[in-house]
Amino acid sequence: MTDDPVDQLARERLAADEARITGPRRRHLGLRAVAVEFWRHPSPWLISGFLLGSVVGRVVVGGGSWWELLIPVALVALFPVIEWVIHVGILHWRPRRVAGVEVDSLLARKHREHHADPRDLPLVFIPWQVLTWLLPAYVAVALLAFPSRPAAWSLLVSVYALKFGYEWTHYLIHSDYRPRTRLYRAVWRNHRLHHYKNEHYWFTVTSAGTADRLFGTYPDPETVATSPTAKNLHGVA
C-alpha cells in the first residue's frame, strides 16, 4: 500500500525544514535508544534520586489538605515563565566585571559551550556540580515556604518532577530522535531555531509559544535574520 500523498508531502516538508534549520542529522534513533543514552549521564540519576526521595518523604509524613493539589497545577502553569526568566537572566548572562570582580557563573559558561556545540550531549544537561547544591537547596526553600510538612513535600515532588521533565525534553530535542507528534515537533523546532537561527528568540524549552509570546520573543522565523553569534553567545569566545 502506498503512502497517503498528503502524509508523504508533510514528511518531505518536515525533512526539508529540519535540514534548513539545523543541517542534515547524523542518524535517526528510536526512543528506546535515546533513553538508554539519557541514563548514561549523571544529571538524570541525581534528579530522579531526589524525586524518589521526595515521593517517599511525602508518603511518610502523610496527612495533608486538598489544596495541595494546587501546588503542581500552579507550578506547571508558571513553569514556562520560570524557564524563560532563567534562560534569559542566568544562562544567557553576559560576563561582566562588578567592582573589579568577574561575574560569570558556571551555568552561563556551560551554556555558552552548549551553544557552541549543540550536538555535544554532555553539555545538554544541567551541570552536576550545580545540581549537588541546587537539589538539596530546594528542600530548605520548601520548608521555609510551607510550615506544613505535607505541603512542603508536595512542593518538592512537583519541583523535582518538573526538573526531570525539563532535562528529558531538552535532551530529547538535541538527540537523534525524530519528532513524531505535532506538539513535540513544535517544541523541537522552536528550540532549534533558538540554537541555529537566532539566540535572542524562542527561549522556552519544554513548551512552544507560551512565555515567548508573553515576552515578545516568538517572531515569525521568516522575519528574523540568522544571527552570527548563535554559536558564540555575546561574541566572547
**pLDDT per residue over 100-146, tens digit each?**
889 999 999 999 999 999 999 999 999 999 999 999 999 999 999 88
Query: Whole-model pTM?
Result: 0.87
The CA distance from 233 to 128, in Å, is: 22
71 in Cβ contact with 86 (< 8 Å): no
- Dist CA 57 CA 7 (whole Å): 48
Instruction: Give the mean pLDDT of the chain.
Output: 90
Q: Which residues contact 218 (CB under 8 A, 6 or more apart)?
A: 201, 202, 209, 212
Q: What is the pLDDT of residues 58-111, one digit of tens each?
A: 999 998 888 999 999 999 999 999 999 999 999 999 999 888 889 999 999 999
Q: State whether residue 103 is helix, strand or coil.
A: strand
Share of the chain above pLDDT 70, in %: 88
- pLDDT of 16 reads 62
The pLDDT of residue 234 is 85
- Rounded CA separation 90/83 (Å): 10
